[in-house]
């Protein structure tokens, strides 16, 4: 099935560093979402973006909805150990058909690990 | 308030068997969606149900089916299990058909041997 192109695949960081990851698609999305998934858990919503160009913050997290509607990025500032996990971008595809309007298409994830 | 609850949490089945997974949405949520997450991949959309009707279906074979009950809980059924069906199956509920309030459960880990 279709997936978004998410990069980087993995990152090793030091505590206190800033982190950037992004997501691109060949399709236009009308909503971008960023999730974090810890082992054995379902994805937890971090930030939702609903308008092209929108820049939204949630604490140390900042995300932007690309102006072309085909990309989004997530920044984490001053990383801490609990930021470790897998981050997923997800988009809601703009479609003229019925139910397919409401599915989410996910990236493959960015694994964030921290050097001790 | 309870979040999205899924049962069972883990399951081991043999190839060719049938499996039923269950999901209870957040109270007040009328939409339930199902996703399959294979190890190392992002979740893939399987179904969405809203007000007990199928409103969307992903690219999965007819061996996959689902339904939603009057209390908005849902079941995902998979027939004739294949090794490749081994995955984490996630349920998400939301207030309406859109992604507002979209909340995932912790999933059911299915292993097919």
Write down the pLDDT at residue A101.
58
User: Under an 8 A CB cutoff, do A98 and B56 touch?
Assistant: yes
Whether chain A has a CB inside 8 Å of the CB on B43: the answer is yes
* Under 8 Å between Cβ of A110 and A63: no
Which residue of A1, A42, A105 is in closest CB contact with B104? A42
User: Under an 8 A CB cutoff, do A3 and B42 touch?
Assistant: yes
Q: What are phi and psi of A100, to 5 degrees?
A: -70, -10
Which residue of B45, B98, B107 is in closest CB contact with A42? B107
DSSP β-ladder status, A110-114 and A10-13: parallel
CA-CA distance, A15 to A112, in Å (whole number)? 11
Q: What is the mean pLDDT of chain A?
A: 90
Q: What is the mean pLDDT of chain B?
A: 94
Alpha helices in chain A (DSSP H): none
Contact residues, chain A, for B42 at CB < 8 Å: 3-4, 6, 88, 90, 106-109
Confidence of residue B1 (pLDDT cuts 50, 70, 90): low
Contact residues, chain A, for B10 at CB < 8 Å: none
Rg of chain A over CA atoms, in angstroms? 14
Write down the pLDDT at residue A78.
97
Q: Which chain A residue is nearest to residue B87, measuring alpha carbons?
A: A40
Confidence of residue A102 (pLDDT cuts 50, 70, 90): confident
Whether chain B has a CB inside 8 Å of the CB on A102: the answer is yes
pLDDT, one tens digit per residue, over A48-58 is 999 999 999 99
What are the b/e assignments for B44-81, b being 16+ CB within 10 Å?
Answer: bbbbbbbeeeebbbbebeeebebebeeebbbbbebeeb
Write down the pLDDT at residue A1.
56
Write down the pLDDT at residue A99.
47
Query: Which range, of A79-88, B30-39, B64-73, B96-105, averages the lowest pLDDT?
Result: B96-105
């Amino acid at each position: 099935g279709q997936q978004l192109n998410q990069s980087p695949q993995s990152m090793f960081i030091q505590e206190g560093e800033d982190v950037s990851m992004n997501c691109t698609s060949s399709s236009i999305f009308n909503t971008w979402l960023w999730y974090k998934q810890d082992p054995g858990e379902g994805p937890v919503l971090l930030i939702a973006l609903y308008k092209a160009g929108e820049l939204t913050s949630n604490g140390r997290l900042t995300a932007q909805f690309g102006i072309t509607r085909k990309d989004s990025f997530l920044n984490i500032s001053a990383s801490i150990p609990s930021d470790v996990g897998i981050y997923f971008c997800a988009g809601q595809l703009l479609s003229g058909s019925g139910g397919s309007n409401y599915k989410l298409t996910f990236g493959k994830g960015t694994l964030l690990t921290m050097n001790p | 308030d309870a979040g999205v609850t899924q049962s069972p949490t883990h399951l081991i089945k043999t190839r060719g068997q049938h499996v039923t997974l269950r999901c209870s949405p957040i109270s007040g949520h009328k939409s339930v969606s199902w996703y399959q997450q294979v190890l190392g991949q992002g979740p893939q959309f399987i179904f969405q149900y809203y007000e007990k009707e199928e409103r969307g279906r992903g690219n999965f074979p007819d061996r996959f089916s689902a339904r939603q009950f009057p209390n908005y809980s849902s079941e995902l059924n998979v027939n004739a299990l294949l090794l490749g069906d081994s995955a984490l199956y996630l349920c998400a509920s939301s207030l309406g058909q859109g992604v507002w309030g979209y909340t995932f459960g912790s999933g059911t880990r299915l292993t097919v041997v």
